[in-house]
Amino acid sequence: MKKLIISVWAFIALPLFAQRDANIRIYLEQGNQQISKHIYGQFAEHLGSCIYGGLWVGPESDIPNTQGYRTDVLNALKKLQIPNLRWPGGCFADEYHWMDGIGPKENRPKMVNNNWGGTIEDNSFGTHEFLNLCELLGCEPYISGNVGSGTVEEMAKWVEYMTSEGDSPMANLRRKNGRDKAWKVKFFGVGNESWGCGGSMRPEYYSDLYRRYSTYCRNYDSNVLFKIASGASDYDYNWTETLMKQIGGRMDGISLHYYTVGDWNNKGSATDFNTEDYYWTLGKCLEIEDVVKKHIAIMDKYDPKKNIALMVDEWGTWWDVEPGTIPGHLFQQNTMRDAFVAALTLHVFHKYTDRVKMANIAQIVNVLQSMILTKGKDMVLTPTYHVFEMYKVHQDATFLPMDLICDKEKVRDNREVPVVSASASRDSQGKIHISLANVDPRQSENIHIDLQNVTIKSVNGRILTASSINDYNTFDSPEKVKPEVFKGAKVEKGKLSVSLPPMSIVVLEVL
């Protein structure tokens, strides 16, 4: 009878207290690649309230602002150490005519934003407003040029306007518009999604256009452009193959877009999902590793020395819009599930950093998997923001390879999701950072980390967790999900052991 009571108790208690084990071995001596900080890039499109209301309110606004930029958003973004910001799209880029967005605001023509809800765009945020924002944020601008509906001349003049120091017509126009010194613009995209919203082209035709347009994107004075071709979507390996063959070394980078989305016609709610949906999402998110590997294998064939970079310049979750918001504005909430998608995806990018030199999560404010949501004068930081803030320690640090052994969950569509994901790096001061994610919503994980010959002096960390995978921050409750001090790591006989609570993301600093 007693035995029966014990076993019934054990059965009931299992889901609450169960704990699993995982093992990690980190190979410090094999660290020879730098995690490009540009993997932590952001993306701002003229879409919904990303620019207007999100980043820019104008100097006359009641909302506190710094030269027109929202001060609260600006301060929050500064904490992320954003390395680069992509603009003006996305699909918007191939209908954008940059000359409409310079000069006195009252003279700037309006346009219809055909891609995103038919909203009227008044062009009050243009080249100066964007490049000055990059200066305030201390990040590199990444401009997407218009190949789909723009001319070669228009693109060539834009580059001249932004970067020429000399007595050139476009530099003089820039001066007339109030900016004497040229900006530095390194990253320049020659078109966006040229297979779709950027012109519905075939890869052979786009390759020729790339060659033509990019010829006239000149390096002025000391500015050296890093030219990026409009790359494939997801599994379109033929696109990558054709561009590698036809464009080759004329491009410095080729892009790739991968969104974590299931059915494009029924993407599902950002907040209302069950555990099965949750695991499916993580499976789909992790599939990016296979996709990246296959694109890299093609690139390796044509460019074995890895001179051309793979730039995943759009990635993230894409859910149904928040009920009551404009469908074309792509405003979605952001839960712990999104935080895991961010953490797991960043771990994959770290691993392939010898080829993946840039990534841009879509998008920075109020659109798709954003860092920040705004409503009027209110602002809220999303769980994804907190992952980017905690993970910034990996930027430009040396990637440390590891072995990880842990349990896996079987999920819908024959996918498997390892319950633990991890990545490690060593920064320029010798500090080791280990990011760990326990995706299991019910069970904690005991992680045994072998750092081999390292003598560990101290370990501390921060944790992002919640009471449910559906948890998110709202304007009424902005701090429901936020990082806290983590006390679950200890050193025993020279080995590091970490007790990761269910559904948690931890970043450790090991000295």
For binding to ligand AHR (CB under 6 A), which residues are involved?
45, 89-91, 192-193, 314, 362-363, 368
Least Å distance between CB 442 and ligand AHR?
A: 33
* CB of 194 or CB of 465, closer to ligand AHR: 194
Least Å distance between CB 47 and ligand AHR?
A: 6
Residue of 193, 241, 287, 445 with catalytic role: 193
* CB of 42 or CB of 65, closer to ligand AHR: 42
**Cα–Cα distance, 70 to 174 (Å, whole number):** 25
Record the tokens describing residue 28, joined without a space.
Answer: 């410090």
**Cα–Cα distance, 443 to 148 (Å, whole number):** 50
CA dihedral over 23, 428, 252, 79, signed as positive or negative: positive
* CB of 45 or CB of 129, closer to ligand AHR: 45
* CB of 174 or CB of 329, closer to ligand AHR: 329
Record the tokens describing residue 217, joined without a space.
Answer: 């994107």
Q: CA nearest 109: which of 95, 124, 119?
A: 124
* CB of 90 or CB of 203, closer to ligand AHR: 90
* CB of 45 or CB of 389, closer to ligand AHR: 45
One-letter amino acid for residue 446 of the chain = N
Which helix (H) or strand (E) element contains residue 280? helix 275-286
CA 202 to chain centre: 27
**Cα–Cα distance, 178 to 162 (Å, whole number):** 12
Q: CA nearest 44: which of 87, 15, 95, 1?
A: 87
CA angle 31, 449, 344 (to 5 degrees): 70
Least Å distance between CB 318 and ligand AHR?
A: 8
Q: Quick check: bond before 369 cis, omega within 30?
A: no
3-state SS, residue 208: helix
Least Å distance between CB 240 and ligand AHR?
A: 17
Q: Following CA atoms 329, 333, 334, 335 in sequence, which dihedral angle do they give, to the nearest 10 degrees? A: -160
Q: CA nearest 44: which of 391, 362, 500, 258?
A: 362
Query: Quick check: 465 and 444 in contact, CB under 8 A?
Result: no
Least Å distance between CB 264 and ligand AHR?
A: 10
Is 193 an annotated catalytic residue? yes
Least Å distance between CB 202 and ligand AHR?
A: 18
CA distances from 126 to 36, 45, 175, 218, 494 (A): 28, 12, 15, 21, 56
Least Å distance between CB 209 and ligand AHR?
A: 17
Q: Which residues contact 199 (CB under 8 A, 6 or more apart)?
A: 94, 147, 148, 149, 191, 206
Query: Quick check: 142 and 189 in contact, CB under 8 A?
Result: yes
Residue showing the smallest CB distance to ligand AHR in the complex = 90
* CB of 143 or CB of 422, closer to ligand AHR: 143
Residue of 45, 314, 389, 445 with catalytic role: 314
Q: What does the chain come to in residues?
A: 511
Least Å distance between CB 178 and ligand AHR?
A: 29
* CB of 168 or CB of 325, closer to ligand AHR: 325
**Cα–Cα distance, 434 to 148 (Å, whole number):** 43
* CB of 192 or CB of 425, closer to ligand AHR: 192
* CB of 368 or CB of 505, closer to ligand AHR: 368
The burial of 445, by beta-carbon neighbours within 10 Å (0-12 exposed, 13-18 middle, 19 or more buried), is given as buried
Integer Rg of the chain from CA: 24
Least Å distance between CB 368 and ligand AHR?
A: 6
- Parallel/antiparallel/unpaired status of strands 253-260 and 226-233: parallel
Is 314 an annotated catalytic residue? yes
Least Å distance between CB 379 and ligand AHR?
A: 21
Enzyme catalytic residues: 193, 314
